[in-house]
A = this chain, B = another copy of it.
């Protein structure tokens, strides 16, 4: 899975409470949607992190998809741009909270930005 160990943790966390939901997660979003042609994975992850940043109520999933975006080749600087752009559509708090999650991921992965 493109979201690697983070995705596996989600599946594991559901084992005791809703194992069927893991199957739906693997079937619908991953099996059906992300496997479709017509849109490259890079663009798909950009769309997802934009949406989750704008919605602002799904920080664990935003973290998973910042990881996934990096895994499919979205550059760290591009992720930052998406977050900043969300200030226009969902307000500065949404952008700030998204940047804060991004910062955590970058620190865990020891990513240093060139524009620092």
Contact = CB atoms under 8 A, between A and B. Distances in A.
A53 B47 CA distance: 10
Interface residues on A, range: 35 or more
A23 to B, nearest CB: 9
Given A54-B51, A95-B21, A33 B85 contact: yes
A48 B50 contact: yes
Contacts of A113: 16-17
29 contacts: A13-B103, A16-B103, A17-B80, A17-B103, A17-B113, A20-B84, A20-B115, A24-B32, A24-B87, A28-B32, A36-B84, A38-B75, A38-B77, A38-B115, A39-B81, A43-B82, A46-B47, A51-B51, A51-B89, A52-B93, A54-B54, A55-B55, A58-B97, A60-B96, A61-B92, A61-B96, A61-B97, A89-B92, A90-B90
